[in-house]
Structure 1
């Protein structure tokens, strides 16, 4: 019995070692996302009926002075804000008969009776707050710890690698990748790791002269910072302390904010690029995981320290923000697509077309959820 309790409740066990970090990561990301919807919706004068972390049966909650029910529910895999007039937690539009049932006061603050700009601002606020969370986390991390970097040098070239075939030599210094200037070795990795199978042009500095070579990155299994095996694109070069001259860049608060905005922009761009390549089958399917993978990574990050857990929150927040902007109902991007059509044609999308869109979108979302669960359990 003692062994069982220790396995579950020690810091290395399931509850404290995995479940608690997982709930922390997911709750923070979901809370910030839904708070974006809530705050901007309230600012636009829209009534809010419920703010929920989780789905399913309510565990506990309370009503505030505005009549909003704040609650924590049993299934901690998301959350929602339900506005006045919403027919479901996905903010589906009420039919004509349902609108007729609203009182005059409710109609005035109902979500679907508001101008397009108010509805669009409220919807886009969720992903936007996710990005702002990432910026805030990176700003604090850069302010406290700085940013460790290596000079973009080549200490070793792997035999038979794309770099060797391209003629890259030890002692070369990266200047640019596909025209993008690089200042650190991490810049080179970032520009290469999502481009497996793409022919890239590298500008190298050798003996004081710039030369240009072409190499095609290949997928290779490596171990990430948390200890997970992952496939990333590489060209087969290695840096070291002697040539890389490791140092830590320190920032003022304003400088940290600027670096955080840049880092977040790179994370958004990289995630978007990955999804584009994934759709056409050019990325490893095991790079996508669901709740089980997130729980595992949360536990691994927690063991390395709280700062690692917070960084995981930042990166997951970017992913959640981008996924929600995909133009698929019932995601935020699907709502924005309907609003864009309404703005162009000066009339709302018909109830029939909207219903068809929601059904098709829900099928895609459920299919995606099934795919990542399969990856978590059996596929990878």
Structure 2
């Protein structure tokens, strides 16, 4: 079920982003007088199609929803009827062809702005950026950060939530900052600042940076009290009830919920002898966690029980962040621009070797992020769509033949020399671009598989 969930949201994400990308090409083509033969979402066998008449555009939904295309009248792709020649793409002036090609990536960036605007207006509920245990010999420890400190700003940018704090830390590192100023509020309410010093080796990849920072969110000690139970879970079948306090498992005292979770997960299909307290009476129970396979092939024990967290504890650590519809407009543009330039910077660093190619994410990683963000809720999934839409727009603008940016490069050369490159030269560079693209895809998939099996 977890795999199907991941595949479903990955398919939804790709379909939405590709559809909007192709809509950009289609809309501008129609507005500039180019005849569009087909607008397809997906490849392969047609599952659904609509065409008002033979002279109108055919709209298609195909079997493989991992892409799409807009097919225009073009003499380079086949014979064109004499009456359609004025509407052929290849016969349009340079500015029209440029606008049509650029429209796809631009629409992706506009879509990202819309997604980020919705997220900011709807609002997000996050956890306050209070530090838990700071790893010894970490960058955070060297900077003087301690458990209980709350990060209030990073490089003068306010950080209301844990996610915002991490975003600013990683963003500053990608931007080339090597001395990051972190404003904190100590447990005794003193306002102070610390400086995290980074080296080039620390920012080779997000994984390395995360490990070397040594930051973890504060985790309260929560009593192992059973909360909500699933109907067919192992916990209910063993006789556990909401409100039961776990005292011990196999004679080992259990003092907090995380300790109980770790104990259960480590014992799939293993009988556990429990001692629980129910209405001030101690009761013995036998519980066998079910063996559940994870996406990485490992197995965990699960019992179908949640924790009973006191409402006052949740409210004390939560913070809500939202903007008015007007305030969210410039903020959404700023967020999209930031992610676009960050993507370009990371690509440039990988190209010159100052950042690891392990920063590449392939379809497997993207699918996992899609499923994980969907599980986190509506706003998290919209943020994921916004990030991927920015990446799709920026990557398509790269001057690589086969991509939209490659065509724009050809048009730039045409504008300079006054005539288009020959078909033979364009074909040569497109084959080279296809080889480069396939090589990058193969590398990304290889890295994905490495992450999956590790």
Q: TM-score, normalised by structure 1?
A: 0.77
Residues 338 and 281 (structure 1), Cα distance of their counterparts in 2 relative to 1, 3 Å cut:
same
RMSD: 3.5
Shift of residue 142 of structure 1? 1.5
Query: Once the two structures are superposed, what CA deviation does each residue of 1:224-282 show, in whole Å capped at 9, x if it has no partner?
Result: xxxxxx5545544567699x986333321111222222221222122222222222344
After TM superposition, the structure 1 stretch with the greater mean CA deviation from structure 2, 261-270 or 113-122, is 261-270
Quick check: 1:279 aligned with 2:347?
A: no
Q: Is contact 1:29–1:130 with CA below 8 Å preserved after alignment?
A: yes
Shift of residue 294 of structure 1? 2.5
Among candidates 288, 294, 303, match of residue 375 of structure 2 = 303
Among candidates 248, 253, 256, match of residue 328 of structure 2 = 256
Give the greater-gyration-radius structure (CA). 2
Among candidates 403, 415, 419, match of residue 331 of structure 1 = 403
2:111 counterpart residue number: 133
Query: Once the two structures are superposed, what CA deviation does each residue of 1:176-226 show, in whole Å capped at 9, x if it has no partner?
Result: 64xxx422276663354263796612346698888877433726999xxxx
Q: TM-score, normalised by structure 2?
A: 0.66
Shift of residue 42 of structure 1? 0.6
Q: Is contact 1:21–1:309 with CA below 8 Å preserved after alignment?
A: no
1:91 counterpart residue number: none
Among candidates 218, 242, 245, match of residue 202 of structure 2 = 218
Shift of residue 311 of structure 1? 2.6
Residues 366 and 212 (structure 1), Cα distance of their counterparts in 2 relative to 1, 3 Å cut:
closer
1:183 counterpart residue number: 158
Listed as ranges, the gaps of 5+ residues in structure 1 are: 1-11, 89-97, 223-229
Shift of residue 125 of structure 1? 0.9
2:231 counterpart residue number: none
After TM superposition, the structure 1 stretch with the greater mean CA deviation from structure 2, 121-130 or 158-167, is 158-167
Q: Is contact 2:154–2:183 with CA below 8 Å preserved after alignment?
A: no
Quick check: 1:340 aligned with 2:412?
A: yes
Aligned partners of 1:333 and 1:197: how far apart in 2?
A: 24
Residues 64 and 316 (structure 1), Cα distance of their counterparts in 2 relative to 1, 3 Å cut:
farther
Residues 122 and 147 (structure 1), Cα distance of their counterparts in 2 relative to 1, 3 Å cut:
farther
Q: Is contact 1:286–1:379 with CA below 8 Å preserved after alignment?
A: no
Quick check: 1:82 aligned with 2:90?
A: no
Residues 248 and 155 (structure 1), Cα distance of their counterparts in 2 relative to 1, 3 Å cut:
same
Q: Is contact 1:44–1:118 with CA below 8 Å preserved after alignment?
A: yes
Q: Is contact 2:174–2:345 with CA below 8 Å preserved after alignment?
A: no
Query: Once the two structures are superposed, what CA deviation does each residue of 1:339-362 show, in whole Å capped at 9, x if it has no partner?
Result: 111112221112222111111111
After TM superposition, the structure 1 stretch with the greater mean CA deviation from structure 2, 53-62 or 208-217, is 208-217
